[in-house]
Amino acid sequence: MSNINNYLAKVFEVPAEKVNLCSIQYELKKVGKHEMLLQEGEVCRNTFFVEKGLLRMYSIDKNGKEHVIQFAPENWLIGDRSSLYFHEKSKYYIEAVEDSEVLFLQPDFFSKLLEEFPNTIEKNDLIIQKHVKSLQDRINSLLGETAEERYLKFIKMYPDLLLRVPQWMIASYLGITPESLSRVRKELAKKNFVTDK
């Protein structure tokens, strides 16, 4: 469990000798490629921590088009917060893009963490505020930036995913067509901008 232990020690500053105490609050599961962890209409019961592999969260509109909301590679958390905290039916799907090892965190994982280690409260608040900021930036990006600007931000946020994720998924995340993404990549190539290393 090195990744989750490192995450808790680094991000929440849980003492290294006590991180194993958190293990009763999660379960490790192997998830096959294309396996669903959450489907639309279900109530989300867990937050997922990616120990190994890659997950994605997406929605499907009334025309059957997919819209990728988030990717979660190693050391990332993913889940439908609205469904989890308000017990609402989810509007999203969470799927394994690769064969993955995923920790299913209990619904009260973070509240238990705060009880056990009160000094983590500030860290938890900071993570929530960063998450809100990230969502606001993503909305602003989709509304006001060019496809090239969005693609460059994607590379910065997910530097190791270009060779792990199909181009159509990246295009879906960016809110553009695969053809538009291809044009963006060609334009960047003309500028000698290398994106696949």
Identify the H or E element spanning 150.
Answer: helix 147-157
Residue 135, domain member (yes or no): no
Per-residue model confidence as pLDDT tens digits over 73-97: 999 999 999 999 999 999 999 999 9
Residue 41, domain member (yes or no): yes
Reported confidence tier of residue 12, pLDDT bands at 50, 70, 90: confident
Count of the separate structural domains present in the chain: 1
What domain range is 111 assigned to? 2-117
Residue 96, domain member (yes or no): yes
Per-residue model confidence as pLDDT tens digits over 23-70: 878 999 999 999 999 999 999 999 999 999 999 999 999 999 999 999
User: Could you tell me the two tokens for 28?
Assistant: 């490790």
Identify the H or E element spanning 59.
Answer: strand 55-60
Residue 151: CB partners within 8 Å, gap ≥ 6?
Answer: 170, 174, 181, 184, 185, 188
Residue 67, domain member (yes or no): yes
Reported confidence tier of residue 195, pLDDT bands at 50, 70, 90: low
CATH number at residue 67: 2.60.120.10
pLDDT for 91: 97
User: Could you tell me the two tokens for 71?
Assistant: 């990717």
Reported confidence tier of residue 197, pLDDT bands at 50, 70, 90: very low
Residue 47, domain member (yes or no): yes
Residue 181, domain member (yes or no): no
Per-residue model confidence as pLDDT tens digits over 128-185: 898 889 889 999 999 999 999 999 999 999 989 999 999 999 999 999 999 999 999 9
Q: Is the pLDDT of residue 125 over 80?
A: yes
Rounded Cα–Cα distance for residues 9 and 49 (Å): 15
Its pTM stands at 0.89
Residue 69, domain member (yes or no): yes
Please check whether residue 168 is in contact with residue 178, taking contact to mean a CB–CB distance below 8 angstroms. Answer: yes
Residue 61, domain member (yes or no): yes
User: Could you tell me the two tokens for 65?
Assistant: 């088009």
pLDDT for 96: 98
More confidently predicted of 120 and 34: 34
